[in-house]
Amino acid sequence: MVRALQGIGRLDIAIRWTRLALDEHPTYETAQTLYSLAMMQKDLPAAEHAARERCRILPGNQCQLALARVLEQEQKPHDVVAALQDVANWRGRGDERRAAWFMLCDAHLALHAIDDARTCLRLLDGSGLIVPTDVGMTRRRVALENLVKQAILNEGPRGATP
């Protein structure tokens, strides 16, 4: 059914049909199908629903990261922090852990939680996931640090009254 709808260019109907199927009979495969379709169509609410179902059915780092990516696109930094709060305990692929750390630090910055962003950055540094010889990664890390510093400067002296 989904392939037929995709074939005639009706991803919107395929998403609705798959979401109904997921709600009626939740399986990981159906959640994965809905997530893929929704991301292709940029239907972020459907993608979030699918990602949450995937995490409920089969919890793990990959589903948390996928959920956080959707939440980040939806500009829901509180939810990103909630989804990635245990990143320090993750095991597995370094690229996924590194991406989660960067997303978590960015979410703290988006919330203007400067101390949390600074702590996040220190924990990222201590994780051993930053490879100094990787220029792109180092640039990303330095850019994040500069954003934290700028936020601190914009915050002004503590205890100052407007």
User: 3-54: per-residue pLDDT in tens?
Assistant: 666 666 777 888 888 899 999 999 999 999 999 999 999 999 999 999 999 9
Whether CATH 1.10.10 fits 1-59: no
Q: What share of the chain is helix, strand, coil (3-state, %, to 5)?
A: 75, 0, 25
Residue with tokens 């500009």: 75
Task: Report the pLDDT value the prediction gives residue 159, as an integer from 0 to 100.
Answer: 46
- State whether the Cα torsion 40-26-75-63 is positive or negative: negative
User: 43-91: per-residue pLDDT in tens?
Assistant: 999 999 999 999 999 999 999 999 999 999 999 999 999 999 999 999 9
- Torsions phi, psi of 74, nearest 5? -80, 0
User: From CA 160, how far away is CA 162, in angstroms rounded?
Assistant: 7
Spans of all domains in the chain: 1-59, 62-162
Residues 6+ apart with CB under 8 A from 7: none
Residue with tokens 């940029």: 42
Task: Report the pLDDT value the prediction gives residue 160, as an integer from 0 to 100.
Answer: 45
Residue 161's pLDDT band (cuts 50, 70, 90)? very low
User: From CA 86, how far away is CA 84, in angstroms rounded?
Assistant: 6
Tell me the residue type at 82. Answer: A
Give SS3 for 110: helix
Task: Report the pLDDT value the prediction gives residue 151, as an integer from 0 to 100.
Answer: 81
pTM for this predicted structure: 0.80
Kindly state the tokens that stand for 140: 């990303």
